[in-house]
A and B are shown apart, each in its own frame.
Chain A
């Protein structure tokens, strides 16, 4: 099975900081809402991708982590294997609130489309043109053995040349992304 020593590159986003291979890439003022942090981090990338602003928080987090870690990387046959604890619960709650009141029943299509955890893998795939294997696991803690074993399987079976994998967790302002490239 793959070991952490086989990690080619890593990216961590937590506490308003984005770190790639131990190097601080971006940090915002502490205590700003995640939406502001994400917007600033996105503008720091200086890319033209209006769809970013329509994503839910989980997808913004995954998108940013992927964007920072994939800079100058070969994306040919790159597979995606992600996991988190809360699934899409943050957006599920928002959707539920929009249909709670039968007298004011206006479900938002743009919210509803993000009520699946693996939508964030789709956003990464669309952005980087990946037509490869992808998987999303929901687990209480980072399922390192499962993720690394699955990545190993994809590489050994030639289903992928490289694998972008890791943890992308967001629920009500509490967030952490930890991505690796094998």
Chain B
């Protein structure tokens, strides 16, 4: 990997100051900054190749369509899917999971079936499934056993048999704990029990090498904006025969073959699931982001962020009264922590004054934090452009804040 100090210069937003300090952007689990290559690709597309897709017979529309569909092919390569038809563009992970829950609830799942989730799911991989309660589909949960994020995946078998589980949906990397779940192993186990699987890859896509082939999942959802792409673009991967079996989610233009006043018929996937004009510019940006990340090297990105998180966790651990969540070993680039007697909001307000941008709150993980007796944590999350010097500043600033509130 090019050194992170050098990669930083690819990201215009990172060169700004914050409260008189160089900005240390440590909120990458929420969203990532954009490299110039992505910004330029989007701008060039709008300046030279933009028109609506799949409609016009004129050259400009043909070019726009080709650019859009080539982005789909790029995403399919990126995920090692069998074909571009397995990639449905969505606004992001949230819309991808809503699409799957809505459509699976009407076409793959039946009244009395169960969906198995874990207690560490982001609200976006929980609430859409709750909506299926009205259809008689029940939710069951693999418990998180400790603050390291341990889950006993052996329980899948017993729960699956007891509750007629049809689908297991789980996060690849926990957005608040930084726990990495063994996706391939889990999917293999689920498959042997006849369960469908959805992997929430919001925190892993663009942060490590991903392959739906190696993982053996049936569905996978991710967001572009957490991997250098613009907001409003992401994708749902689904195995071809499963997407074929799913009813549409949103309906309208672009997703139909024949429309009569009283009925319509649907296109084949993926277009069946892409009603209306899609986020064409976003897809172009996503393609550029994938190009950028693959040039940098995803294995190196993973190693770098993980090493920074381990360094941060070790340094923060020396501060009196600190409690660090997440695994002791093999942590993704995420460190959540709480400081005794200092609320996470007060803490990040102080860190902000030092130019450090961190998130505080429940991280859309209310059930998990409640289980730990917490309402909010501060979270530092790292990406390819973060450097050790930023972690040193973080540790020093947390210690300074502790002293301030200790009075």
Q: Do A and B bind each other?
A: no
Measured CB to CB, the residues of B under 8 A from A are: none
